[in-house]
Amino acid sequence: MPEPLDITGAVCPVPLPHNERIVLGHGSGGKMAADLIAKTFLPAFDNPALRAGDDGAVVEFPVGKLVVSTDSHVVAPLFFPGGDIGHLAVCGTVNDVAVMGATPLYLTVGFILEEGLPLDTLHRIVDSMRQAAREAGVQIVSGDTKVVQRGKADGVYISTTGVGVLPPGRMLGGAQARPGDVVLLSGPMGDHGIAVLAARGELGFETDIQSDCAPLNGLIADLLTACPAVHVLRDPTRGGVATTLNEIARQSGVGITLFEKSLPVRPAVAAVCEMLGFDPLYVANEGKILVILPREHAEQALAAMHNSRYGKEAVLIGEVTEAPAGRVLMKTALGSTRVVDMLAGEMLPRIC
Ligand code: MG
pLDDT per residue as tens digits for the range 85-101: 999 999 999 999 999 99
From the CB of residue 240, how many other CB atoms can be counted at a distance below 10 Å?
26
Per-residue confidence (pLDDT) for residue 11, from 0 to 100: 59
Which one-letter amino acid corresponds to residue 177? A
Share of the chain above pLDDT 90, in %: 88
pLDDT band at 17 (very low <50, low <70, confident <90, very high): low
Question: pLDDT tens digit string along 288-340?
Answer: 999 999 999 999 999 999 999 999 999 999 999 999 999 999 999 999 999 99
What residue numbers bound the domain in which 92 lies?
24-55+62-166
Per-residue confidence (pLDDT) for residue 9, from 0 to 100: 63
Same domain, 162 and 224: no
Average pLDDT over residues 7-15: 60
Same domain, 159 and 237: no
Same domain, 118 and 155: yes
Among candidate residues 132, 166, 200, the one where a domain is terminated:
166
Q: How many domains does the chain have?
A: 2
From the CB of residue 188, how many other CB atoms can be counted at a distance below 10 Å?
20
Question: pLDDT tens digit string along 239-249?
Answer: 999 999 999 99
205 CA → ligand 1 middle, Å: 31
186 CA → ligand 1 middle, Å: 14
Query: In CATH, what number is assigned to the domain containing residue 222?
Result: 3.90.650.10
Same domain, 160 and 256: no
Question: pLDDT tens digit string along 138-187?
Answer: 999 999 999 999 999 999 999 999 999 999 999 999 999 999 999 999 99
Average pLDDT over residues 113-140: 98
Same domain, 158 and 186: no
235 CA → ligand 1 middle, Å: 5
CA distance 241 to 249: 12
165 phi and psi, to 5 degrees? -110, 135
Same domain, 137 and 202: no
Per-residue confidence (pLDDT) for residue 13, from 0 to 100: 55
CA distance 166 to 195: 33
Question: pLDDT tens digit string along 180-225?
Answer: 999 999 999 999 999 999 999 888 888 899 999 999 999 999 999 9
pLDDT band at 39 (very low <50, low <70, confident <90, very high): very high
Which one-letter amino acid corresponds to residue 60? E
96 CA → ligand 1 middle, Å: 5
159 CA → ligand 1 middle, Å: 14
Please say if the pLDDT value at position 266 is more than 80.
Answer: yes
CB 218 within 8 A of CB 308: yes
Residues around ligand 1, an ion, CB closer than 5 A: 96, 235
Nearest of 32, 29, 35 to residue 55 by alpha carbon: 29
CA distance 251 to 253: 6
In a domain, 348, yes or no: no
Same domain, 227 and 142: no
351 CA → ligand 1 middle, Å: 14
Average pLDDT over residues 339-344: 91
Query: In CATH, what number is assigned to the domain containing residue 155?
Result: 3.30.1330.10
Same domain, 159 and 205: no
Same domain, 187 and 90: no
16 CA → ligand 1 middle, Å: 39
Q: What angle do CA 131, 134, 138 make, to 5 degrees?
A: 130
Per-residue confidence (pLDDT) for residue 12, from 0 to 100: 59
68 CA → ligand 1 middle, Å: 12
53 CA → ligand 1 middle, Å: 31
CA distance 147 to 122: 13
